A and B are shown apart, each in its own frame.
Chain A
Amino acid sequence: MRRRPGIGGIQKQRLEQEKYKDKGTILQLNYLEQMSQQVEIFRRNLEEFALKHKTEIKKNPQFRRQFQEMCASIGVDPLASGKGFWSVLGIGDFYHELTVQIVEVCLATNYKNGGLISLNELRLRLIKARGKSIQHQEINNDDLLFAAKKLNIFGNGFCIIEISKGEYLVQSIPGELNMDHTAVLQLVSKQNKPYMSVSILREQLQWDTERAKKSLNHMIKEGLAWMDLKNTTENLYWFPSMFNECINSQDN
């Protein structure tokens, strides 16, 4: 644009800017229209999809997992709102019921394990609680993880701790577990015996006595471990949250 000097030039410049802004708005409007159209198409497709595959979603856990993974990769949360598009799929009820049941199981076992329950134990209890029909037994660990993550927003301390590949602990009482404590839990689950002692920690993890004692004492304070004074050599610390798991793995 040829720049004219003087007031005329300034005015022209201003006019140009106005026009650009208008154009931008128009383009933006186009964006919105485009979006609305796309949303419509998407909604139709989703309904078709739901018609065809609704029952499968409910029955097949792998399918569910695939679905969740895809949603996560895109950045969409199908459970966010009961009024949203995804409610057509009917997965909302399934997951929300699962959430409620998870909370109930955790509350019931809290007095025993101090608020820390292994995912496997949680799953077994849920299957027992949900009933004998095959459909109910088809929940797998991914479903549980997905549902449990949702509970975080209530601020009640629900969180998932990974202690090794594929093994998780669900914590339902707020409490701080730093890396040392997690390492202790990992070791307990690895060694297949649900107890721990200072000497085991020193051997396996090469920790010094102070560090080992501090971690174990913290576990007792939080109610996650029980102290056993009967052993003649030294104190043992037992972890109720690991009991079932160890039993299960021994059976295999």
Chain B
Amino acid sequence: MDRFEYSTSNLQPNESYILRSYNIKLYDGDNKTLFENGELILTSHRLIWFLPGSNNYLSLYLKYIVYIEEEKPNVFMFSKSKRLNLYLIEPPKIRPPGPVSISSFNFIKLSFKDKLDIEFVNALNNVVQQKKWETVELVQKTDVKPPIKFRTGIVGIERSLEEKQKATNESISVAFQDLNKLMLMAKDMVDLSKNISTKIKDKQGDITDDETIKFKSYLLSLGVEDPVTRDTFQSDSEYFTQLANEICRIIEKPINEVSGIMVLTDVYCRVNRARGLELLSPQDFLSACKMMEKLKLPIVLRQFDSGVKVLQLASQSDEVIVDYIQSLLIQSTFLTAENLAKILDIPVILAKERLIIVEKFSKACRDESIEGLRFYPNKFLEDLYAFCFFFLLPMNSINFETEKQYSPSQWCSRHRRSDKVEQNHIENVTKLSQDVKNKFQCESNILFYQYQNPFSVSLDTIMTEMEELVEFLLEIGNARNWSSLWLGGHSAGAHLAASILCCNLRFSISGFILISGIYDLRPLINTSFNAALKLNDNSAKKLSPIFKFSTVLGAPFNNKILLVMGEFESPAFLEQQQRFAQEFIKIGLKIKTEIISNADHFQIVEWLNDENYSLTKIIIEMIRAES
């Protein structure tokens, strides 16, 4: 309304009167104004409104009008339209005063009380199109050529473009209006449906089942999200059964090609691509997949803990997959999701899920770092044992005489090559320990304690770990009421066991079995082993049990310590045992020393599996004698 101005009834130069209409009401945008029951005069330049009998004239320049449309009536109005909408451009900042100084609307309405004056509307349209005020201005500016030519030139083109735009705008606005109407109706229905559904929830069973189903089908067709109907209804539908069958048919072959499992998004894409037309909506697709299990189809929908949904062959079981992945893990030390995806040829997201399942089954441990998520095989074994047997593999060596003597693999006469010795030994012992594990349940079991690689940490640390381990075992022993705890070791293990003997923990240990051990570390300084051990004279002395006997005085170990060597061990080892035994004698402790005939450094423990083996008998006798 702010485009109106106060004016007089005088016509401007070149302005001509065209038409007049009666009983017109003015609207400012959607709001009524006080200007009702007036007369409207259409001229070539303006619209002039006034109350009959008054001298106040409101005029609106036609140049403000950009668009004219008839207002479409409401659905509920059965009369023809009575109003005309005039869309206006922004008024200039400085203009003559008018009835309203500022309006928030950019359009006005002319309301014809009786009915829309078609004549008037047509005339208005014409006049606005003709734009007589423009041509006048043009003529005033350029006196040269007749103005007609300019109209058909650039101005003409502009005008035709404008008309085209208006036409499209009109059709769209028609569409928008239709849309509006449609939406209003839909809204009413949705509200009503919500009403009914709450009623259903409250008193279920007051409506018959058929009607409920009908109602639910309406909701489904409308696309209304209603928790009452969602699950129960959709699962019974014929349509979804059909869909489920179809999806199975499409996807069965591809799923077999990728080891039986596919992410749901993938399946959705493939199915829709296969269909071409009449694509499925995600909700329909999901409902159909949910039905697969009910219909006992070969493919089922499955959801992981993280929310990822997949389609999987019904025949696949988790255990088989877990075992397979576990073996892969052991083979390649660690796996990331990307690696596994490459190996199994499945998408990364699935590989990750698989690894998480393996972790759930306790067969893998995760390692999260900035480099990503890795999975390692689970090395924390479950069983716990009472008889602790330290075991250290002999190391590779080079050719020095001392080396040779301290390197049992080279001293060994059975095999040609020293590295084969180790391998053989490892194999034998592993097999033996398996056998033992299988045979004995509670009484004597073997614990494999994997301490850190001796090449990376110092002997000190290993010994501290050993002490901790023994403490731990003692705790368990107390809890489980073991009658005795015997500590034994072979080779370097014997050294460690002997070290325990010389520390405070020995009072809780019932006895020691020391097999082929080294008790004085000083000779080792001149061997290649020292590269790892890094001993010097002082540290060797500190770590050698043979020098710690002052602490062992008074320990109640009569006949509780066994020192044993194989006949075919190197002289150095034999000498070690001898000297160590001497120490015990010096402090007056009675111990048992044995030499096992025909045994070398390795066989002496490998044969422990045999019940008739002399050492076995001796050990068991000792333990039994004590208890």
Contact = CB atoms under 8 A, between A and B. Distances in A.
A81 B308 contact: no
Interface in A32-77: 32, 34-36, 38-39, 41-42, 45-46, 49, 52-53, 56, 60, 62-63, 66-67, 70-71, 74-77
Interface stretch (A92-100, A124-132, A179-187): A92-100
Contacts of B292: none
B531 interface: no
Interface in B476-504: none
B370 A150 contact: no
Given A53-B179, A150-B282, 12 more contacts: A32-B215, A38-B188, A52-B175, A53-B178, A77-B223, A80-B223, A83-B220, A92-B281, A96-B279, A100-B268, A155-B303, A157-B307
B189 interface: yes
Contacts of B218: 35-36, 39
A108 to B, nearest CB: 12
A104 B279 contact: no
A35 B222 CA distance: 12
B435 interface: no
Contacts of B211: 29, 32
A200 interface: no
Contact of A67 (B179, B277, B278, B372): B179
A174 B277 contact: no
Contacts of A81: 220-221, 223, 281, 283-284
Contact of B278 (A29, A39, A80, A82): A82
Contacts of B269: 100, 103-104
Interface string A95-130: 011011001100000000000000000000000000
Given A31-B196, A104-B269, A220 B223 contact: no
A24 interface: yes
Interface string B209-243: 00100110010111111000000000000010000
A211 B383 CA distance: 43
The interface centre, meaning the residue of A45, A46, A76 with most chain B CB atoms within 10 A of its CB, is: A76
B182 A49 contact: yes
Contact of B280 (A25, A41, A96): A96
B172 interface: yes
Given A60-B172, A74-B183, A154-B264, A83 B221 contact: yes
B223 A155 contact: no
15 contacts: A28-B207, A31-B192, A32-B196, A35-B189, A53-B178, A63-B176, A70-B183, A75-B190, A76-B223, A81-B220, A83-B284, A97-B272, A103-B265, A151-B265, A173-B349
Instruction: Give the secondary structure class of A's interface.
Output: helix
Contacts of A71: 183, 223
Contacts of A99: 282
A96 B225 CA distance: 19
A80 B280 contact: no
A207 interface: no
Given A81-B284, A155-B307, A74 B190 contact: yes
B278 A93 contact: yes
Contact of A220 (B286, B307, B370): B370
Contacts of B196: 28, 31-32, 35
Nearest to B352: A174
A35 B278 contact: no
A70 B503 CA distance: 83
Interface string B136-160: 0000000000000000000000000
B498 to A, nearest CB: 48
A126 B292 CA distance: 33
A76 B282 contact: no
A40 to B, nearest CB: 10
B224 A76 contact: yes
Most A CB within 10 A of own CB, among B178, B222, B303, B308 = B222
A243 interface: no
Contacts of B239: 83
Interface residues of A, number: 61
Given A35-B192, A80-B281, A153-B286, A42 B185 contact: yes
Contact of A153 (B181, B193, B272, B282): B282
Interface of B: 171-172, 175-176, 178-183, 185-190, 192-193, 195-196, 199, 206-207, 211, 214-215, 218, 220-225, 239, 263-265, 268-269, 272-273, 277-284, 286, 303, 306-309, 349, 368, 370, 372
Contacts of B286: 153-154
A174 B308 contact: yes
Chain B contact residues: helix, strand, loop or mixed: helix
A156 B189 contact: no
Contacts of B178: 49, 52-53
A156 B183 contact: no
Contacts of A8: none
Q: Which of A25, A79, A80, A97 has the most CB of B within 10 A?
A: A80
Given A76-B223, A79-B223, A103-B265, A35 B282 contact: no
Nearest to A227: B370
A25 B207 CA distance: 7
A19 to B, nearest CB: 14
A52 B268 CA distance: 32
B206 A156 contact: no
A20 interface: no
Contacts of A96: 272, 279-282
Given A35-B196, A80-B220, A151 B189 contact: no
Give the interface centre of A34, A39, A173 by most chain B CB atoms within 10 Å: A39
Interface string A13-32: 00000000100110011011
Contacts of B307: 155, 157, 174
B281 A79 contact: yes
B203 to A, nearest CB: 8
B175 A56 contact: yes
A56 to B, nearest CB: 6
Given A31-B195, A67-B179, A85 B282 contact: no
Nearest to A32: B211
A74 B187 CA distance: 6
Nearest to B372: A221
A140 interface: no
B223 A221 contact: no
B209 to A, nearest CB: 13
A97 B279 contact: yes
Contacts of B349: 156-157, 173-174
Contacts of A157: 307-308, 349
Contact of B284 (A63, A74, A78, A82): A82
Contact of B265 (A74, A78, A154, A217): A154
A62 B349 CA distance: 37
Contact of B224 (A28, A77, A153): A77
B370 A82 contact: no
Contact of A42 (B171, B189, B368, B372): B189
B309 A221 contact: no
